[in-house]
Structure 1
Amino acid sequence: MRLIVRLLKGLDPFLVLLTLTIVVASLLPARGVAVGLFEGLTDAAIVLLFFLHGAKLSRQAVLAGIGNWRLHLLVLAASFLLFPLLGWVLAWGARGLTTPEILSGMLYLSLLPSTVQSSIAFTAMAGGNVPAAVCSASLSNITGIVLTPLMVGLLIEVQGSAPGVSLDAIEAIMLQLLLPFVAGHLLRPWIGGFLDRHRKLLMPVDRSSILLVVYTAFSAAVVNGIWQRTEAADLLMILGLSAVLLAVVMAVNLFVARRLHLPRGDEIVLLFCGSKKSLVSGVPMAGAIFAPAQVGVIILPLMIFHQLQLFVCALVAARYARTAAVPVEA
């Protein structure tokens, strides 16, 4: 009973809301006229979400840690070389064991940028180099806005077409992701102070935008029979593949950090920033890149991986904090 209570306390509240959103979409999916309404709201939510991402990106924090270029290149290599390679290998090796859509979802999550908030939080908790973590995580997200959709177009079938970067996909990425992000960052000198002072008030805007995208995506997926095509064994397969992916990436990052004799603070940055995948970026990106009927099953592996990475990284960060000989100043 105590174990169950601990597990419940360890759950990410946002993931609980995501799960409830999936349940609601499964029982009451948007149909008919409501589909167009929710798709329009979803497009607006994605634009708002990336506008806020750009506006909240602190240029000073990035400049404070940008000098550690070797560490940032290692984090980018882990996010956009190591992860995709392992994701492709796992997707290829698991062919025939689960559905092609789920394997595409596994490959998609491997192409995403790192998280920002949780990477920085775990780095601080473990006593790592926080300014470098801010820079690495932010650089990963900026790079991912361009690089992730390009890799998706090259490696995954989008909207039933052969792999390749279509003009429609490029237009959607530019209008829904890149332009709002750039506009938000350019306006930061005027609105950044307000956003920094009201982060807690704006957090529901971020999360409600993602929940709206998830509801719309799973509504379309339910109408197209996602739960008829997805069994319990498929969910277990996602969990198993996610565990293997996360374990290998963390092991390789730790090996590289120690092989290169990185300082302890930088080792922590590489371990956390280089092993995480962003749900906040991944869900709206999927909404902009994939057809509505595809999005639900595509983001299913991402949501499972998200909770697993939070649980594992929390344990690892706590161990670093316990074993620190002296506090590491950020």
Structure 2
Amino acid sequence: MARPRFLPDNMTLLLIAVVATASVFPCTGGVAEAFDWLTTFMIGLLFFMHGAKLSREAVVAGFTHWKLHVTVLLCTFAVFPLIGLALKPVLSYFITPELYLGLLFLCVLPSTVQSSIAFTSVARGNVPAAICAASASNLLGIFLTPLLVGVLVVAHGGAGHSSLDSILKIVYQLLLPFVAGQIARPWIGRWIERNKSWLKFVDQSSILLVVYVAFSEAVVQGLWHQVPATMLVSVLVINAVLLALIMFITTWGSRRMGFNKEDEITIVFCGSKKSLASGVPMAKVLFAGGAIGMVLLPVMLFHQLQLMVCAVLAQRYGARREEAQAAVATESAGD
């Protein structure tokens, strides 16, 4: 039986359960330190397995559609952050500076991979281009996200790791495992393809562990006293505005630039989505202490919102294509 389009997915339900658990039973002391080491290991393993899974041949072949890929990357790493910065004068009246920093972090994250491709497929878009665009966004995000975080944190007046420190942490915690996975791909690539459930398990487990540790520390420091329910609603509304703006820009821009409908669909889904899978481990590397909990709140809310909205949009795109094909078939039969 298919899941109703507006119900949360299983991962979102697990995230809610983990946040609730951390709120009631936060880990502290030696247990928190052990969990921190475990999450570091799991994140390294996650990027190693992603490196072993990614086909270099497919990515190289897909990069021939350079105009589409450049458009997606500009939407992800330029237009989205600019929207976040432009909204700062208004947002400062509704949310705390820490939550605004989380929104800026959301704006510089790379695109999703699996869901972008899945929604593009349902909408009858350019799936090969979506595979390459989403993969390129995630790969470049390893470099661009920490650089943009460094620039935006300074511009925002916040404290954080320096850009150089962030890059070094990204290199040895994320990039080196990814490169090691690419090197090991000839030997273990087929095994990983046959056992994709392992990658999904490592992916979800690392996210849940980071969220639990981050929210445990945030709860100990008084997270829920600083973020009342009304402010959570404000963050959700702001996320909805961000998503609506970027979807309008990607749709209008792709049409103005002369892309066909299949490429437009790819640009909309790859250029408007943000990766929770990449955002959680990067937040652990880039932000210290209880700040991670505040930073992850907008990312987690945006994750569920984009899934619901894109599910509806993908169905509408797909239905439009089927209706057009039916109309052509009817005209041909009439002739």
Please name the residue that 1:247 is paired with.
244
Please name the residue that 1:203 is paired with.
200
Q: Is the 8 A contact 2:77 2:110 kept in 1?
A: yes
Mapped pair 1:137 → 2:134: yes
User: Structure 1 residues 130 and 166, CA, compared in 2 at 3 Å: closer, same or farther?
Assistant: closer
Distance 1:204 1:308 in 2: 23
Please name the residue that 1:288 is paired with.
285
Q: Give runs of aligned pairs for residues 1-330 of structure 1, distance below 5 A.
A: 6=4, 10-156=7-153, 162=159, 165-324=162-321, 325-326=324-325
Distance 1:157 1:43 in 2: 26
- Show CA shifts across 1:40-82 (max 9, x none): 1111111111112211111122133211000000000000011
Q: Which one is further off, 131-140 or 50-59?
A: 50-59
Distance 1:236 1:277 in 2: 20
CA RMSD of aligned residues (A): 1.8
Please name the residue that 2:331 is paired with.
none
Q: Is the 8 A contact 2:160 2:287 kept in 1?
A: no
Q: Which consecutive residues of structure 1, in runs of 5 or more, have no partner in the other structure?
A: none
Q: Which has the larger radius of gyration?
A: 2
Distance 1:57 1:88 in 2: 33
User: Structure 1 residues 165 and 269, CA, compared in 2 at 3 Å: closer, same or farther?
Assistant: same
Distance 2:149 2:132 in 1: 25
Distance 2:28 2:190 in 1: 41
- Show CA shifts across 1:265-307 (max 9, x none): 1111001000000000000000011003111110110000000
Distance 2:238 2:197 in 1: 34
Q: Is the 8 A contact 1:101 1:297 kept in 2?
A: yes
Distance 1:264 1:117 in 2: 21
Distance 2:154 2:51 in 1: 29
User: Structure 1 residues 188 and 92, CA, compared in 2 at 3 Å: closer, same or farther?
Assistant: farther
Corresponding letter in the other structure for 1:326: Q
SS of alignment partner, residue 325 of structure 2: coil
Q: CA deviation at 1:145?
A: 0.4
The normalised TM-score by structure 2 is 0.92
User: Structure 1 residues 313 and 80, CA, compared in 2 at 3 Å: closer, same or farther?
Assistant: same
Q: CA deviation at 1:166?
A: 4.6
Q: Is the 8 A contact 1:91 1:107 kept in 2?
A: no
Distance 1:299 1:283 in 2: 7
Distance 2:318 2:229 in 1: 37
Distance 1:207 1:74 in 2: 30
Distance 1:292 1:326 in 2: 55
SS of alignment partner, residue 20 of structure 2: helix
Corresponding letter in the other structure for 2:115: S
SS of alignment partner, residue 318 of structure 1: helix
Corresponding letter in the other structure for 1:237: S
* Percent of matched pairs sharing the same residue: 51
Q: Is the 8 A contact 2:221 2:290 kept in 1?
A: yes
SS of alignment partner, residue 267 of structure 1: helix
| Count of residues paired in the alignment | 321
Q: CA deviation at 1:175?
A: 1.1
Q: Which consecutive residues of structure 2, in runs of 5 or more, have no partner in the other structure?
A: 327-335
Q: CA deviation at 1:12?
A: 1.1
The normalised TM-score by structure 1 is 0.93
SS of alignment partner, residue 102 of structure 2: helix
Q: CA deviation at 1:7?
A: 6.4
Q: Is the 8 A contact 2:160 2:288 kept in 1?
A: no
Q: Is the 8 A contact 1:155 1:164 kept in 2?
A: no
